[in-house]
Amino acid sequence: MDQLSSTTPFEGAEDDISEQFSIIWGQIKAPLIVPWLRVAVFLCLILSVMLFIERVYMGIVITLLKIFGRKPEKRYKWEPLRDDLELGNSAYPTVLVQIPMYNEKEVYQLSIGAACGLSWPSDRIIIQVLDDSTDPIIKNLVEMECQRWAGKGINIKYEIRDNRNGYKAGALKQGLKHPYVKQCDYVAIFDADFQPEPDFLWRTIPFLVHNPELALVQARWKFVNSDECLMTRMQEMSLNYHFTVEQEVGSSTYAFFGFNGTAGVWRIAAIDEAGGWKDRTTVEDMDLAVRASLRGWKFLYLGSLMVKNELPSTFKAYRYQQHRWSCGPANLFKKMFMEIVRNKKVSSWKKVHVIYSFFFVRKIVAHIVTFVFYCVVLPATVLVPEVEVPKWGAVYIPSIITLLNAIGTPRSLHLLVFWILYENVMSLHRTKATFIGLLEAGRVNEWVVTEKLGDALKLKSATKAFKKPRLRIGERLHLLELGAGAYLFFCGCYDMSFGKNHYFIYLFAQAIAFFIAGFGYIGTFVPQS
């Protein structure tokens, strides 16, 4: 039988539609898409260079610090506090330890126990548990735990409010208003999942006692669950860079950095002079730090002092946390920009550092350029070959920035590719949150307490291998990630078929990462150390 080579009516219609689409695309591409895409590429390259210079600068500073060994004990006076036979314990300053918490069923015993285990003269320390819990059962458990420690002779106060106004900032502010706080000179703050070592105060308070210009001593975070899954390993890489480089450089150069909200000791006089805790943004810790710095106070970061804490181990909890951490700084930058410019108590160089380096590059540019350039604009150039991205902007600069970011966690260098893809996924939420903060849109003051598991982590790890992830559409399906993944997958297919940029491997890999996040499975993979 003769074989007939003929097309069906449907195939002919499809060809006509494709041809018409190509004609329309060609007509709008040259006058409209190409010019705007070239502008976008130009702006993204400028932002990339700004971020690159900032990263290289911090890399040089941290290298010099390591070479010349400028330890805190050499930059500031430090002597151990000693007993005085005449004054007795009154020779030691009185320290307030605040533990703000909200429905912390899994970790309240850990944090309260660690705070009550701090080594310090018993009559010169006050443990203050600020419980904003709305669950009456949890509230009762926390109160009984405080009573149990009080029965052991610990000076512990259980404080509650009849509302949650101001969230954490409101609780901390209210806690400082109690009459017994007037006798305190310093306040140490620990979130509910933080567990300081017994010698924490002996290693921090002497800096504040012997250096009256210091307002804050900040410790480093140590993550107890970093090996739980791939998501926690990626978080560890990002946060280790923040602590080993950003905080260290800020402390060593301008004696300024953002307070991390926990694992730090404040001079109460500095808090009062700066105007106290304010709840105008979701980053009350950074707000206080900037205001105190503008009044001339200095900060010290102790990278050698680590406090155990927990990383978010679910994608939902991490998304909420990153929204707060990205939206808050952008909103604070908008609110404080003119206040920083008009300030007359600090040098112009420090103002430039706070505005340009601390806020603009690290809190705004870093988020926007990561998503817009590498997940939107660069893939778009595949569809518009008339617009080219120079290799130094598409390959060299991001590669160097990535390597500089990875130095904080050498043990995870083999996971670097996964970290790149993961950070690009999270940059979607960080960029969205940044614009919400700058524009003061609907979710600008959204505060969702990060879920903590505490001892339940052990049970979770033991049972994880026997439980299959269940797909809950309402909880696990994330449309933004799925949309971004579909866009990148389409660009990858186009590049592989018709393009000349050869980005399709990256585009496919990034699309898969977005799809994994979109279906809520990003926290289910356990890496090999």
DSSP bridge pairs for 264 = 189, 218
The CB-side HSE value for 413 (13 A sphere, CA atoms) comes to 6
Q: Say how far apart CA 484 and CA 375 lie, in whole Å.
A: 8
243 and 235 Cβ atoms separated by less than 8 Å = no
Q: Say how far apart CA 199 and CA 80 lie, in whole Å.
A: 12
Sign of the Cα pseudo-torsion (454, 149, 133, 118, in order): negative
Question: How many other C-beta atoms lie within 10 A of the C-beta of residue 65?
Answer: 18
- Residue 231 burial by Cβ neighbours in a 10 Å radius (0-12, 13-18, 19+): buried
Tokens representing 71 are 């330890």
Q: Say how far apart CA 285 and CA 168 lie, in whole Å.
A: 10
Q: Which of 132, 191, 279, 495 is catalytic?
A: 132
- Residue 388 burial by Cβ neighbours in a 10 Å radius (0-12, 13-18, 19+): middle
DSSP bridge pairs for 266 = 187, 216
What type of residue sits at position 485?
G
126 and 155 Cβ atoms separated by less than 8 Å = yes
285 in catalytic set: yes
Phi-psi region of 227 (alpha: psi -120 to 50; beta: other; left: phi over 0): alpha
Q: Which of 131, 191, 285, 495 is catalytic?
A: 285
Contacts of 60-68 with CB under 8 Å at 24 or more apart are 61/249, 61/252, 61/253, 62/244, 62/245, 62/248, 62/249, 65/248, 65/249, 65/252
Q: Can you spell out the DSSP letters for 114-161?
A: HHHT--S-GGGEEEEEEE----HHHHHHHHHHHHHHHTTT--EEEEE-
SS3 sequence of 391-418: HHHHHHHHHHHHHHHHCCCHHHHHHHHH
83 in catalytic set: no
Which residues are tagged catalytic? 132, 285
